[in-house]
A and B are shown apart, each in its own frame.
Chain A
Amino acid sequence: MGIAFTAGKYIHWGVVSISLTNFLIIVGMIVIFALALVLPFPGAHQQQPQQHKPDEDES
């Protein structure tokens, strides 16, 4: 019987079976979520509307 296809790489753990690609995508999302929580966000001190930074474009 000529089956043409072969499966990619899979990780098996108990009942769980996940493709390596999907696993990396999910891990990547969790890492990005964690980074989004902890990385400082720029411009957090611009509360006074009159204050301008020297390199801002004042058009």
Chain B
Amino acid sequence: MNSLQFILRGLKHHRTGYLGVLLGSALGTMVLLGALFAGDSVKSTLRQIAEERIGKTRNVLVGGENLFLAELASEVGKDTAPVLQIQGQVSEPTGRTIGQTDIFGINERFWDFSISSDKGPTPRISEKAWPINKELADSLDLGVGDTLIVRLRKPSLVTGDVPLADNDDEIITLRGEVSHILEDGEMGRFSLAQSQLNTPKVFLPLPALAEAMEQLPARANLLLSRDPIDPATFEKRVRSSMSLADYGLSIVDAPENGHLAIRSERIFLSPTLEAKIRATFPRVRPTLTYLVNTLAANERETPYSMVTGADPTLATFVPDDLKDDEIALSSWEAEDLAAQPGDTVRISYYVLGKNNRLTEEHAEFTVRHIYPLEGAAADKQWTPDFPGITEAETNADWSSGLPLDMKRIRDKDETYWDNHRGTPKAFITHSAAAKLWQNRWGSATGLRSAVWDIPQEQIETKLLNVFEPLDAGLHTRDIASESTAAASSPVDIASLFLSMSFFLIVAAVALTAMLFRFNIEQRNTESGLLTAVGIPAKKILRWRLGEGLVMVTLGALLGAVLAFAYTRGLLLFLEKIWNSGGERLFQFHASPASIAGGVIGFVILMMATIWLVTRKQGKRSASLRLTSGSEEIPPTSHRKRPRLIALIFALIGIGSLAASSQLGPSSAFFLSGFCFLIAGLALWKSVFQLTSRPKSSNHGPTPEPEHQPDRGLQSAPPSKPPNNAAQPSNPSLSTSHFSLSTPAQLAKTNLARRPTRSLVAIGTLASAIFLVISVTSFQKHGAGEWQDPTSGTGGYGVWIETASPLIRQASGQFEFESDDINTLLPVRVGTGDDASCFNLNSVAKPRLLAVDTTQLEGRFSIKSTAEGIEPSWAALRNTPSPSDRELQLAPESEQAIPLRAFIDETTLLWVLKKKPGDLIEYTDEFGTPFTVEIAGTLTESVFQGSFIIDEAAFVKRYPSSPGYRIFLATTSKAPAEARADLQRSLTDLGATISPTAERIAAFHSVENTYISIFNVLGGLGVILGSAGLGLVTARNLAERKDEFAMLHTIGISRRITRSIITREVRSLILAALLIGLIAALISILPSLPQQPAPGITLAWIAGLALLTTACATLSAWLAYRSQRN
């Protein structure tokens, strides 16, 4: 027989005892692997979603609001596709509608980007037959052949809030049928947003969409490339392929002046483009033509006229020395006003004021010159193409974003329009015009010159050599790399579950080690015998560890199998957070590394623990082991140590609570809880050491057991007198100086008889109680205090999100505003991704939300701020305070000032993992990098996942920002009622409306789900702790069968022995409850008053205490029953 055979024989013989070790190991491994598998599954799912989301796209040119010609894609290469992405809403014929739907205009090349493009025919798409994704199909119960109606706001080449932009009648409706329902792998998930959340999508042929929008040739705002080239090469190709039209520019001939003029489709030439053009062609001069409401003089007025600011070098018909306060009138205008040189002309015009409100301003000029309306002065090209105006047949047909009173139009105005269209009626200097009408989009509506030095066809080439895509607001993105980087959860799910399962794993390890030790103790005699016959102690220890290794490994393998089912359960929990319904989001995945690492890791952990608890056994003398049997022989040295430990840990616990502001509430809570638990357990040990000790003795404490071989089963070392009688087998009864007159006293001494196993059982149960109670106290309970302006809702009742950006009407109000809305906070949505807890992906740049921060004073709670920043919304307005006319472009130096932002504390801590004062780099509309400084944090706000910045600073960096897409409103009606009303009035805008309290509750639900998982794992811990208590009871009873028989034999009734057992078990349960409860209560005490429902928390605690008592009692009773039988 060799060692292996000996080990196997031992395992076979003690298989019942080892069953617990096997099951404990299986449980521990299952929990450990479950955490790792959950992490694997989330990672794998995110990777898969990322792949499906972008398909084969490698690089992408993103225009956003800036459109380029769709044919640019063909110019860039064959592995490209143009896409026009806009948001709208989709209805089915019965009226059911879904807003915030992605509407894509695509061509056939788009399908080449699908990861399943090689697997079959491409989805059918035609003018009236459109593929939709499953999300949309499920939302509206649509199937192939069903009719759907798409409503979208026509994308404008001109930013909506540019004065003079045409904002009316922009919504177009298209009707078609579903041709195909796209699976996720068929581009049904296509999106550049780094999120696992899918949105409804419908795909229309780009040419048909362009025609419906009356925007031919077709334009796009995305250019996808699947060519495996690096981003720099892609950008180079894009740049070399772009035309002036892609920059929104055109060169027009003004034959009346002999000028060539460069104009922008966006009315104003961007300062970047203007600067580059002027640097390339120094002779060109800017012109600025503006629609003025009134030209008035001599008590006469002319309504709605174009006035141009141009240098006399261009407008050769005005005096060369025209001053900034002088005006030259056309003969038509001079006649209309009966004006003569020297007269004062007052002009009135609209400008965009604070909060994008139009305000009418005035300026006065002296008439310097009257020129005839002919030749160069009659050049219609002085005026750029104003959408809604230029193409109008009559004055009355004008459709402008300005509040025009068309009743003011006279017949002579119509005649002028018929004859001269938008030809300016007056000229001022460009510098004067710029002072009046310069805005964030620029200060020129044209650049022109009579002398260009090169032929017209070469002008474009020369300009394209200096232009870059960013000049037109077109960004290239290495979307493949971005998606790969983002496809990792900011919260490491594996680590999260490991931390949440930590206690359960420790409990499983502790109980398993305890069971293993039971076996070792039970085989003390065997070990003693082996030592006595000359087997080295180390070898015996190795055999024991070998047995342990076999059982732990088998248990771990069993646990690995169970982990597959367990993980599926965990993933179901996670689905509650991130899946809005429909198919399962998470795909189970277990990597070989996790399986091997988990199993091996647990086996090592378990074996290390087993080694720790058994190594001392090997050091005991053979004679001692031969005689002690299964009795635990606790060291009697260091009797004061438990009290010292209790004191030290209690002090550390108090210290961590006191330092909770430095440590952070969570760390302080867990550290203090852990310390109080250890202190409680140490105190318990100390108390029972005292009670088990002889109260008074002539002999002092029990001799050192290591040197007391004859304790227990054999004779004790002789005390005085030496001829004492043989000792009874129960050490608790072995001291004549004990007063054992009641069962309670005997129960007490018995408790201290095997302190380690009692301690493990109590510790496990107490820790479980602590964990469940304390974590439950963190449960979030809705947002019932939503009316409070300092709450997370800011006092706003309703959150409105529209499919398309909205701008204020001429009245200064938004089109959906009604009397029911008391206050409205419009929010601009900028670049970045949603970093709220609903997004599983890593977000490096949270979405920018720009608001008028003056409206937020006194609202929301600013929790903390970076050093030197006051906790006030004013802190965000670190750039010069916007005047009523925020028309000044940001000076260059201002770009260097970090843009301050507040962000929800949860996002900062868990997603960004940053702190106030940190900086994050963004790129503005023109490709210029700027930094956002995290100025402070908000407490649990509706803005979770986004940076809140000041609107004035935002629009300087993103002048093309098209308007507002989010609105927070206070309403006269209750939010739920207001939602229904708003839903009706916002139907055409594809808006989603939700009470802010619901939004906060949704964020809370994520944390609550984590807490639920914690509770379930903690609950398992309670069960495990109860089971441990049952095991300890059963083991104690089994080992004391002879003792009870002896008591019975000497006339002690079963009632009394039952009473002894009951008292022992009750003491253990009580100790666990007290230690767990006290540790939890002390730890949560500081936060209890802030609990929204402390009563619920306390009721929960009481309920859990009862449940634990019941569980543990039942477990012990079962153990008693099994042993009695």
**A and B interact:** no
Binding site for A on B (CB under 8 A): none
Binding site for B on A (CB under 8 A): none
